[in-house]
Amino acid sequence: MSMVVVTKKNKVIIDTDPRIDDAMAIFVALRSPELEVVGLTTIFGNVYTALATRDVLHLLETAGRTDIPVAEGSHVTIKKATKLRIASFVHGLDGLNNQNFHPPAGKAVEQSAAAFLVEQANLYPGQVTVVALGPLTNLAPAVELDPSFPKKIGQIIILGGAYSVNGNVNPAAEENIFGDPDAADVVFTCGADILAIGINITHQVILSGNSLAVQSCYYTLIPLQEFPSDITIQFGESSFNLHRLRRRELVAGYGWELMFSHGEPVRTIEESKKKGGGTRAG
Protein backbone atom coordinates (compact mmCIF):
# COMPACT_ATOMS: atom_id res chain seq x y z
CA MET A 1 0.00 0.00 0.00
CA SER A 2 1.56 3.26 -1.11
CA MET A 3 1.75 6.19 1.25
CA VAL A 4 0.47 9.61 0.24
CA VAL A 5 2.95 12.31 1.14
CA VAL A 6 1.29 15.62 1.93
CA THR A 7 3.64 18.53 1.29
CA LYS A 8 3.02 21.61 3.35
CA LYS A 9 2.58 24.59 1.07
CA ASN A 10 4.44 27.85 1.60
CA LYS A 11 2.11 30.75 2.31
CA VAL A 12 2.82 33.81 0.18
CA ILE A 13 1.41 37.28 -0.30
CA ILE A 14 2.28 38.93 -3.60
CA ASP A 15 2.62 42.70 -3.37
CA THR A 16 2.37 43.90 -6.95
CA ASP A 17 2.13 46.80 -9.36
CA PRO A 18 0.81 44.46 -12.03
CA ARG A 19 2.19 44.44 -15.52
CA ILE A 20 2.81 41.62 -17.95
CA ASP A 21 5.66 40.01 -16.04
CA ASP A 22 3.88 40.38 -12.70
CA ALA A 23 0.80 38.78 -14.27
CA MET A 24 2.93 35.81 -15.32
CA ALA A 25 4.41 35.53 -11.84
CA ILE A 26 0.93 35.57 -10.30
CA PHE A 27 -0.32 32.86 -12.65
CA VAL A 28 2.72 30.69 -11.97
CA ALA A 29 2.24 31.11 -8.22
CA LEU A 30 -1.44 30.20 -8.41
CA ARG A 31 -0.63 26.98 -10.27
CA SER A 32 2.35 26.01 -8.14
CA PRO A 33 1.86 22.91 -5.97
CA GLU A 34 4.34 24.38 -3.51
CA LEU A 35 2.56 27.64 -2.78
CA GLU A 36 -0.58 28.83 -1.10
CA VAL A 37 -1.29 32.38 -2.19
CA VAL A 38 -3.12 33.80 0.83
CA GLY A 39 -3.59 37.25 -0.66
CA LEU A 40 -2.46 39.93 -3.06
CA THR A 41 -1.79 43.55 -2.24
CA THR A 42 -1.51 46.33 -4.80
CA ILE A 43 0.71 49.35 -5.17
CA PHE A 44 1.53 52.04 -7.71
CA GLY A 45 4.49 51.67 -10.05
CA ASN A 46 3.58 50.62 -13.56
CA VAL A 47 0.07 51.98 -13.08
CA TYR A 48 -1.69 53.94 -10.35
CA THR A 49 -2.85 51.91 -7.35
CA ALA A 50 -6.58 51.91 -8.20
CA LEU A 51 -5.83 50.48 -11.65
CA ALA A 52 -3.39 47.99 -10.12
CA THR A 53 -6.23 46.70 -7.96
CA ARG A 54 -8.52 46.40 -10.96
CA ASP A 55 -5.86 44.48 -12.88
CA VAL A 56 -5.25 42.05 -10.02
CA LEU A 57 -8.97 41.40 -9.59
CA HIS A 58 -9.21 40.68 -13.31
CA LEU A 59 -6.24 38.31 -13.23
CA LEU A 60 -7.79 36.36 -10.36
CA GLU A 61 -11.10 36.14 -12.19
CA THR A 62 -9.28 34.88 -15.28
CA ALA A 63 -7.53 32.23 -13.20
CA GLY A 64 -10.75 31.24 -11.44
CA ARG A 65 -9.33 32.21 -8.04
CA THR A 66 -11.70 34.89 -6.79
CA ASP A 67 -11.46 33.24 -3.37
CA ILE A 68 -8.12 34.98 -2.82
CA PRO A 69 -8.45 38.37 -1.08
CA VAL A 70 -7.04 41.52 -2.63
CA ALA A 71 -6.10 44.47 -0.44
CA GLU A 72 -5.57 47.84 -2.06
CA GLY A 73 -2.39 49.64 -1.13
CA SER A 74 -1.34 53.22 -0.72
CA HIS A 75 -2.01 55.83 -3.40
CA VAL A 76 0.89 58.00 -2.23
CA THR A 77 4.45 57.43 -1.03
CA ILE A 78 5.21 56.99 2.64
CA LYS A 79 6.06 60.70 2.78
CA LYS A 80 2.65 61.48 1.22
CA ALA A 81 4.12 62.52 -2.12
CA THR A 82 1.48 62.46 -4.85
CA LYS A 83 3.82 63.01 -7.79
CA LEU A 84 4.55 59.40 -8.65
CA ARG A 85 6.75 57.82 -11.29
CA ILE A 86 4.29 55.71 -13.28
CA ALA A 87 5.93 53.59 -15.98
CA SER A 88 2.91 53.20 -18.25
CA PHE A 89 5.17 53.68 -21.26
CA VAL A 90 6.59 50.18 -20.71
CA HIS A 91 3.55 47.92 -20.37
CA GLY A 92 0.69 50.11 -21.59
CA LEU A 93 -1.73 52.46 -19.91
CA ASP A 94 -3.49 49.56 -18.19
CA GLY A 95 -0.27 47.74 -17.30
CA LEU A 96 -1.36 44.75 -19.37
CA ASN A 97 -0.51 45.79 -22.92
CA ASN A 98 -3.65 47.94 -23.43
CA GLN A 99 -6.00 44.96 -23.70
CA ASN A 100 -9.04 46.93 -22.43
CA PHE A 101 -10.31 44.13 -20.22
CA HIS A 102 -13.88 44.23 -18.97
CA PRO A 103 -14.31 45.60 -15.42
CA PRO A 104 -13.88 42.87 -12.80
CA ALA A 105 -16.91 41.77 -10.82
CA GLY A 106 -14.97 41.44 -7.59
CA LYS A 107 -13.85 44.09 -5.15
CA ALA A 108 -10.92 44.57 -2.84
CA VAL A 109 -11.37 43.91 0.87
CA GLU A 110 -12.04 46.82 3.18
CA GLN A 111 -8.63 46.57 4.85
CA SER A 112 -5.66 48.53 3.64
CA ALA A 113 -2.75 46.54 2.27
CA ALA A 114 -0.65 47.36 5.34
CA ALA A 115 -3.39 46.19 7.72
CA PHE A 116 -3.85 43.01 5.69
CA LEU A 117 -0.12 42.25 5.84
CA VAL A 118 -0.08 42.74 9.60
CA GLU A 119 -3.18 40.58 10.04
CA GLN A 120 -1.72 37.69 8.04
CA ALA A 121 1.60 37.89 9.88
CA ASN A 122 -0.30 37.62 13.17
CA LEU A 123 -2.51 34.77 11.94
CA TYR A 124 0.47 32.75 10.68
CA PRO A 125 3.55 33.95 12.57
CA GLY A 126 6.75 32.98 10.84
CA GLN A 127 4.91 31.25 7.99
CA VAL A 128 4.14 34.00 5.46
CA THR A 129 6.53 35.16 2.77
CA VAL A 130 5.85 38.50 1.11
CA VAL A 131 7.01 38.69 -2.50
CA ALA A 132 7.33 42.42 -3.21
CA LEU A 133 7.35 43.12 -6.95
CA GLY A 134 7.01 46.91 -6.81
CA PRO A 135 7.83 49.88 -4.56
CA LEU A 136 7.83 49.01 -0.85
CA THR A 137 5.15 51.52 0.11
CA ASN A 138 2.81 48.90 1.61
CA LEU A 139 5.45 47.15 3.69
CA ALA A 140 6.81 50.26 5.40
CA PRO A 141 3.41 51.22 6.93
CA ALA A 142 3.01 47.60 8.07
CA VAL A 143 6.23 47.97 10.03
CA GLU A 144 4.98 51.22 11.54
CA LEU A 145 1.53 49.80 12.26
CA ASP A 146 2.90 46.82 14.17
CA PRO A 147 6.50 47.03 15.45
CA SER A 148 6.50 43.23 15.85
CA PHE A 149 5.70 42.72 12.15
CA PRO A 150 9.37 42.24 11.11
CA LYS A 151 9.68 39.32 13.53
CA LYS A 152 6.32 37.77 12.71
CA ILE A 153 6.63 37.81 8.94
CA GLY A 154 8.53 34.78 7.65
CA GLN A 155 10.51 36.47 4.92
CA ILE A 156 10.30 39.44 2.58
CA ILE A 157 11.58 38.82 -0.94
CA ILE A 158 12.23 42.10 -2.69
CA LEU A 159 12.54 42.62 -6.40
CA GLY A 160 14.66 45.73 -6.30
CA GLY A 161 17.99 47.39 -6.04
CA ALA A 162 21.14 47.67 -8.10
CA TYR A 163 24.09 46.32 -6.17
CA SER A 164 27.52 47.26 -7.57
CA VAL A 165 25.92 48.04 -10.96
CA ASN A 166 24.16 51.02 -12.49
CA GLY A 167 20.44 51.41 -11.93
CA ASN A 168 17.78 51.36 -14.63
CA VAL A 169 16.18 54.72 -13.76
CA ASN A 170 19.46 56.59 -13.39
CA PRO A 171 23.02 55.47 -12.67
CA ALA A 172 22.30 55.29 -8.94
CA ALA A 173 18.75 53.92 -8.75
CA GLU A 174 16.64 50.90 -9.68
CA GLU A 175 12.96 51.56 -10.45
CA ASN A 176 11.25 49.82 -7.52
CA ILE A 177 13.49 51.37 -4.88
CA PHE A 178 13.39 54.72 -6.68
CA GLY A 179 9.58 54.59 -6.56
CA ASP A 180 9.64 55.16 -2.79
CA PRO A 181 13.16 55.28 -1.34
CA ASP A 182 11.92 56.33 2.10
CA ALA A 183 9.73 53.24 2.31
CA ALA A 184 12.65 51.11 1.18
CA ASP A 185 14.79 52.57 3.96
CA VAL A 186 12.17 51.59 6.55
CA VAL A 187 11.89 48.05 5.21
CA PHE A 188 15.59 47.35 4.78
CA THR A 189 16.36 48.53 8.32
CA CYS A 190 13.38 46.96 10.13
CA GLY A 191 15.12 43.72 11.09
CA ALA A 192 12.99 41.34 9.01
CA ASP A 193 14.48 38.40 7.12
CA ILE A 194 14.96 39.99 3.71
CA LEU A 195 16.09 38.52 0.42
CA ALA A 196 16.73 41.27 -2.13
CA ILE A 197 17.30 40.36 -5.76
CA GLY A 198 18.56 43.30 -7.78
CA ILE A 199 19.31 43.91 -11.40
CA ASN A 200 22.90 42.85 -10.79
CA ILE A 201 21.46 39.33 -10.59
CA THR A 202 18.51 39.47 -12.93
CA HIS A 203 20.39 41.05 -15.82
CA GLN A 204 22.53 37.93 -15.99
CA VAL A 205 19.60 35.65 -16.74
CA ILE A 206 19.52 34.23 -20.26
CA LEU A 207 16.53 32.72 -22.06
CA SER A 208 17.13 30.79 -25.26
CA GLY A 209 14.44 30.69 -27.93
CA ASN A 210 13.46 27.12 -27.03
CA SER A 211 14.00 27.60 -23.32
CA LEU A 212 11.92 25.37 -21.09
CA ALA A 213 11.40 28.45 -18.94
CA VAL A 214 9.72 30.23 -21.86
CA GLN A 215 7.67 27.14 -22.67
CA SER A 216 6.60 27.01 -19.03
CA CYS A 217 5.32 30.57 -19.40
CA TYR A 218 3.34 29.57 -22.47
CA TYR A 219 1.77 26.46 -21.02
CA THR A 220 1.01 28.17 -17.74
CA LEU A 221 -1.31 30.50 -19.63
CA ILE A 222 -2.97 27.95 -21.91
CA PRO A 223 -5.73 27.00 -19.43
CA LEU A 224 -6.55 30.68 -18.93
CA GLN A 225 -8.86 30.96 -21.91
CA GLU A 226 -9.82 34.59 -21.38
CA PHE A 227 -6.27 35.88 -21.31
CA PRO A 228 -5.28 37.32 -24.71
CA SER A 229 -3.23 34.96 -26.82
CA ASP A 230 -1.07 37.76 -28.18
CA ILE A 231 0.51 38.32 -24.79
CA THR A 232 1.26 34.62 -24.55
CA ILE A 233 2.80 34.55 -28.02
CA GLN A 234 4.82 37.64 -27.31
CA PHE A 235 6.42 35.96 -24.34
CA GLY A 236 7.31 32.94 -26.42
CA GLU A 237 8.49 34.57 -29.62
CA SER A 238 9.47 38.19 -29.11
CA SER A 239 12.74 39.25 -27.53
CA PHE A 240 11.17 42.60 -26.68
CA ASN A 241 8.50 40.99 -24.59
CA LEU A 242 10.94 38.54 -23.10
CA HIS A 243 12.51 41.69 -21.70
CA ARG A 244 9.25 42.22 -19.85
CA LEU A 245 9.59 38.76 -18.39
CA ARG A 246 13.10 39.45 -17.23
CA ARG A 247 12.92 39.51 -13.44
CA ARG A 248 9.61 38.65 -11.84
CA GLU A 249 9.78 34.93 -12.39
CA LEU A 250 13.29 34.77 -10.96
CA VAL A 251 12.15 36.39 -7.73
CA ALA A 252 8.78 34.72 -7.69
CA GLY A 253 10.64 31.50 -8.47
CA TYR A 254 11.54 31.28 -4.78
CA GLY A 255 10.22 27.81 -4.01
CA TRP A 256 8.03 27.87 -7.11
CA GLU A 257 9.86 25.17 -9.06
CA LEU A 258 9.11 26.75 -12.43
CA MET A 259 10.91 29.16 -14.71
CA PHE A 260 14.67 29.29 -14.45
CA SER A 261 15.13 25.87 -12.84
CA HIS A 262 12.75 23.85 -14.99
CA GLY A 263 15.10 21.25 -16.38
CA GLU A 264 17.87 23.68 -17.27
CA PRO A 265 20.22 25.71 -15.10
CA VAL A 266 20.31 29.45 -14.90
CA ARG A 267 22.83 30.64 -17.47
CA THR A 268 24.88 33.77 -17.21
CA ILE A 269 25.70 35.95 -20.21
CA GLU A 270 29.21 34.54 -20.39
CA GLU A 271 27.99 30.94 -20.26
CA SER A 272 25.47 31.64 -22.99
CA LYS A 273 28.16 33.02 -25.29
CA LYS A 274 30.18 29.85 -24.84
CA LYS A 275 27.15 27.73 -25.72
CA GLY A 276 26.29 29.73 -28.80
CA GLY A 277 23.66 32.28 -27.99
CA GLY A 278 20.46 32.93 -26.13
CA THR A 279 18.09 35.80 -25.62
CA ARG A 280 18.93 38.19 -22.85
CA ALA A 281 15.90 38.65 -20.58
CA GLY A 282 16.62 42.07 -19.22
What pLDDT, in 10s, does the model give residues 204-246?
A: 765 555 555 555 555 555 444 444 444 433 333 333 333 344 4
Q: What mean pLDDT is predicted for residues 9-27?
A: 87
The structure's pTM equals: 0.77
pLDDT tens string 38-59: 999 999 988 889 989 998 999 8
In a domain? residue 3: no
pLDDT at 263 over 50: no
In a domain? residue 261: yes
Contact between 208 and 278 (Cβ < 8 Å)? yes
pLDDT band at residue 143 under the 50/70/90 scheme: very high
Please compute, for residue 4, the number of CA atoms within 13 A of its CA located in the half-sphere on the CB side: 2
In a domain? residue 99: yes
In a domain? residue 5: no
The domain tally of the chain equals 1
The residues with which 219 forms a beta bridge, in sequence order, are none
In a domain? residue 4: no
Q: Would the CA dihedral through 44, 45, 51, 56 be positive or negative?
A: negative
In a domain? residue 90: yes
How far is it, in rounded angstroms, from Cα 54 to Cα 59?
A: 9
In a domain? residue 2: no
Which residue segment(s) compose the domain that 152 sits in?
10-280
pLDDT tens string 180-195: 999 999 999 999 999 9
Percent with pLDDT over 90 in the chain: 41
CATH code where residue 81 lies: 3.90.245.10
